[in-house]
C-alpha cells in the first residue's frame, strides 16, 4: 500500500512538471528511483533474478528515444525505468498500453479539433498517471 502511494505521489509530481515545463528534471526521478530501490531491498524483491525484466520496458523506451532522436522523450523512458522499481513487468506493460491508448485519443483530438500538426509534442507522464489511477481504482 505504501509502495503504491509513493509511486502515485511520484507520478503526480512528475506529471505536473511534464505538463508545465514539457520536461522532467532529474531530482524527482532520482528520489523516486531511490524510494523504489529501498522498497525492493526491504521487501526482498531484489533477490529474484526476474526483477531485471521490470526494467525492460524502460530500457526499450530509452532505445526508442535514442533511435527516434527524442521524438519519445528520455524523461518518459526514465519514468518507466523508475516504475520498474515499484511494479511487475506485466503491470508496467499494461499501464503503457493504457497510457498509449489515451494519448493516441488525445492526439487525434488535437489533430482534428484543435488543428495541431503531427510535430506537436504531448507530455506522456500525465497519461501514465491517469492509467495508474485507473488501475488503482
pLDDT at residue 46 tops 80:
no
pLDDT at residue 128 tops 90:
yes
Scanning the structure block, which residue is given the C-alpha cell 500525465? 126
Give the per-residue pLDDT at 24. Answer: 86
Give the per-residue pLDDT at 62. Answer: 92
**Percent of residues, the chain, with pLDDT higher than 90:** 39
Scanning the structure block, which residue is given the C-alpha cell 488501475? 135
CB count within 10 Å of CB 67 equals 10
Give the per-residue pLDDT at 50. Answer: 78
Give the per-residue pLDDT at 132. Answer: 94
Mean pLDDT of 60-76: 89
Give the per-residue pLDDT at 135. Answer: 86
Give the per-residue pLDDT at 29. Answer: 87
Taking only the tens place, the pLDDT of each residue in 69-112 is 888 889 899 999 999 888 888 999 999 999 999 999 999 999 99
Give the per-residue pLDDT at 70. Answer: 82
Q: Considering the entire predicted model, what is its pTM?
A: 0.86
Number of helices and strands (H, E) in the chain? 6, 0
Residue pair 13/28 in contact by the 8 Å Cβ criterion: yes
Amino acid at each position: 500500500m505504501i509502495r503504491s502511494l509513493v509511486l502515485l505521489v511520484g507520478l503526480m509530481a512528475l506529471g505536473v512538471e511534464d505538463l508545465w515545463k514539457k520536461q522532467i528534471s532529474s531530482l524527482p526521478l532520482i528520489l523516486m528511483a531511490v524510494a523504489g530501490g529501498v522498497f525492493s531491498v526491504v521487501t526482498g524483491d531484489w533477490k529474484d533474478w526476474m526483477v531485471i525484466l521490470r526494467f525492460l520496458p524502460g530500457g526499450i523506451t530509452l532505445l526508442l528515444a535514442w533511435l527516434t532522436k527524442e521524438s519519445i522523450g528520455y524523461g518518459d523512458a526514465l519514468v518507466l525505468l523508475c516504475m520498474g522499481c515499484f511494479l511487475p513487468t506485466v503491470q508496467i506493460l499494461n499501464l503503457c498500453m493504457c497510457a498509449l491508448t489515451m494519448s493516441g485519443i488525445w492526439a487525434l483530438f488535437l489533430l482534428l479539433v484543435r488543428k495541431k500538426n503531427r510535430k506537436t509534442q504531448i507530455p506522456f507522464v500525465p497519461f501514465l498517471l491517469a492509467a495508474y489511477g485507473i488501475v488503482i481504482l
